[in-house]
Structure 1
Amino acid sequence: MTFAFLILGDFSPEQDRTASIGGGSARMIGVPDLPAACAAARALAEEGIGCIELCGAFGPDGARQVIEATGGRIPVGYVTHFPEQDPLFRAAFPDDPHNL
C-alpha cells in the first residue's frame, strides 16, 4: 500500500514534497492551507494512493473536509495528542491559529 502524509504550514505543495520514501510506499507533502490540502488529496486519490494521514493541525473538521475532497474513496486519518500535552504544543507552535 502507498500512503501520503500532508503537513500544514508555510509550504508550497509543488516544492515541499518528498518524491517517495520506503521504496515508493510513502510520500510527504507540505501544504499552506486547507484548500491546498483538499486539492492535493484529490490528486493523490486520483493517482491511486492507498491512505492519507494529516498532521494534527488539520483537526477533525479539516480531516472531514479532506475526506470529502477524496469522495470518501480512501482512508484519511489525522495525528492527535493527549490533552495533557496541550501546554507543550502551545509552546512549540505559538503562532498556530489552530493551537489549543
Structure 2
Amino acid sequence: MKKYAMMVLGDYDTKHDTAEFVHGEMLTRFVTVRDFEEARETAKKLLAEGFGCLEMCGAFGKENARMLAEETGGRMAIGYCVSDPDMEEKLAEFFG
C-alpha cells in the first residue's frame, strides 16, 4: 500500500486533529503540527511507518521542506504547497 501524508502547521491539538483515508491501495493521512520541531519529529515517524510522500502546507516554505528532505535522507518525497503571486494579498487577509 502506498502511503501519502499532508502536514498542516497551526495551533492544533496534534493528538486529535488528524484524519486518515484509505482508497484502494492508497492511504492518505492529514497530520497537524504546531512548529518546525514537531514537523521534524512527525516526518521521521511517518518515514518509519513507511510513508513515501509528504506534502507540507505553504507556511513551511521551500527551505524547511528541503531541510526535512535532507533530514530524512531523501528516502521520502517531500513537497510544499505554493500559490500564485497574485493570491498573496488574499492569503495574507485570510491567515492574518
Same fold judged by TM-score > 0.5?
Answer: yes
> Residue 28 of structure 2 aligns with which residue?
26
Give the gaps of 5 or more residues in structure 2: none
> Residue 3 of structure 1 aligns with which residue?
4
Amino acid of the structure 2 residue aligned with 1:15: H
1:86 aligned to 85, 88, 95, which one? 88
- Are the counterparts in 2 of residues 13 and 31 from structure 1 also a CA contact under 8 Å? yes
User: 5 Å matches for 1:62-81?
Assistant: 62-81=64-83
> Residue 47 of structure 1 aligns with which residue?
49
Describe the SS at the equivalent of 2:14: coil
Q: Which moved more, 1:56-65 or 1:38-47?
A: 56-65
CA–CA separation in structure 1 for the residues paired with 2:91 and 2:79: 19
Q: Percent identity?
A: 34
| Offset at residue 13 of structure 1 (A) | 2.5
- Are the counterparts in 1 of residues 52 and 75 from structure 2 also a CA contact under 8 Å? no
Let me know the Cα RMSD of the aligned residues: 1.3
Q: Hey, which bits of structure 1, 4+ residues long, moved more than 3 A?
A: none
- Are the counterparts in 2 of residues 38 and 65 from structure 1 also a CA contact under 8 Å? no
Amino acid of the structure 2 residue aligned with 1:41: A
| Offset at residue 81 of structure 1 (A) | 0.4
Work out the number of aligned pairs and report it: 93
1:57 aligned to 56, 59, 64, which one? 59
